[in-house]
Amino acid sequence: MQIQQSLRDQPMTRYQIAIVAMCVAINILDGFDILSIAFASPALAREWGLSSQQLGFLLSSGLVGISIGVLFFSFLADKIGRRPVILTSLVIMSAGMIACGFAGNAHWLALCRVLTGLGIGGMTATGGALAIEYSSVRRRTLAVALVVIGYPVGATLGGVVAMGLLEMFGWRSVFWFGGALSLLLLPVLIVWLPESIDLLLKKRDAGALDKVNLYLRRMGKAAVSNLPRIEGNETRQPVSALITHFGKTTFLLACAYAGFMFSFYFIINWATKLVTEMGLPDHAGVTASIMINLAGILGGLIVGILSARLSLSRLVGGVLLLMGAAIAPFGLLPPQIFALYGASFILGFFMWAGSALAYNVIALSYPAEIRATGIGLIVTIGRIGSILGPYTAGVMLGAGMSRAMVTLLLALPVMIAALLFAQVARTRRALG
């Protein structure tokens, strides 16, 4: 279609850049809200006397909600649109965060974290797809990387804010702050966030032409008098195509992403607690988490640039193998603050660089007409790993297993994922 072709081939306009920026802002909130429980976990565990198993369950509860949210809202976004799903998800996430601050016990907090996760999952399923749909081919890889590193930006800023809030107001204030911040973004998205032009052209609902022309004017492009015709090959059913045409790719990506998320969320959720269990103060644990996410910003930017110049298969395979190798120091290093900060920075660099590359492999493994559905499906399956990672760590530590053994064993899934992602990237390149 001529409209879509112009978006892909022409330089991005200010409005297209603003759309990507809004998607980045959404992911920044996600980063803070997902990790709010990790920031609060040491104080929370002391106040309620939680065991490692109970804390592991609590850390995983939000990820259960995310998994449900991604699965449900990715399907809903194709039915009613990206925009209403994102706005509804933001309201749900805000309500869940505020409710977390009022929880009186671990069970209620777990339920509130599930609610928060539902909202986060809805935005995860649609924000990245919307950024891709409004990006030019030349800038698409960088746009995806920017959206991905929105998460560590939110986690880094959140960690800095959380230290002050925990010191002055206690752990409940961390959740209230996150909820209020989410509500502040809502009016901006209501006014400026567009619907997917791809979806409008495909569904052709009443008012679709007016919406398309509104977005075209915002991008400084000429309005159209009629919606372009839909070609036959653009009406393929997304779900059936993922199985019938891309079954092997979908299977490999699902296994790879689940393994990556297993190791990734083990570190994301347990880094703070692992540091404090070495006898170091709470602020050292939070600072280690900040270092992980601060390094992730640099890692995401670097691979976002390099992936346009280097082989994606070698890049994703090498970065994820190095991520696995970097997990070990959390169990092997002595309780020396600056050594742990350095190890955290190195680990964070490869974790978030790997996250950006993994998302790129997934997004580029499917053609445009099924890309959003493919991303949603793989992310949903991958969330199984994100749930099992933190929970498995809690079980292992609760059973008396050493930190060194836990970190070594939980580094294995991402190393297997490195080989699978590299294989898919090589196949995608060979097939063009």
DSSP-derived secondary structure for 23-43: HHHHHHHHHHHHHHHHHHHHH
Q: Count how many Cα atoms sit within 13 Å of the Cα of residue 63 in the half-sphere of its side chain.
A: 28
For the chain, what's the residue count?
A: 432
Whether the Cβ atoms of residue 303 and residue 353 lie closer than 8 Å to each other: yes
CA-to-CA distance for 104 and 57, rounded, in angstroms? Answer: 17
- The pLDDT profile of the chain, 432 residues, written as one tens digit per residue, is 577 677 777 888 999 999 999 999 999 998 888 888 888 888 888 899 988 788 888 888 887 898 888 878 877 887 788 899 999 999 999 999 999 999 988 899 999 999 999 999 888 778 888 888 888 877 777 788 888 888 888 877 887 888 889 888 989 999 999 999 999 999 999 999 999 887 788 777 778 888 888 888 898 888 887 877 655 445 545 567 777 788 889 999 999 999 999 999 898 878 877 888 777 877 788 788 888 878 888 888 888 778 767 788 889 999 999 999 999 777 787 878 888 889 899 999 999 899 988 988 887 787 766 777 788 889 888 878 888 898 898 889 888 888 889 989 999 999 999 999 999 988 865 444
The secondary structure element, H or E, covering residue 321 is helix 312-327
Give just the sign of the alpha carbon dihedral 241, 245, 251, 254.
negative
For the domain spanning 2-431, the CATH number is 1.20.1250.20
- Find where tokens 């120091």 sit: 329
**pTM of this prediction?**
0.78
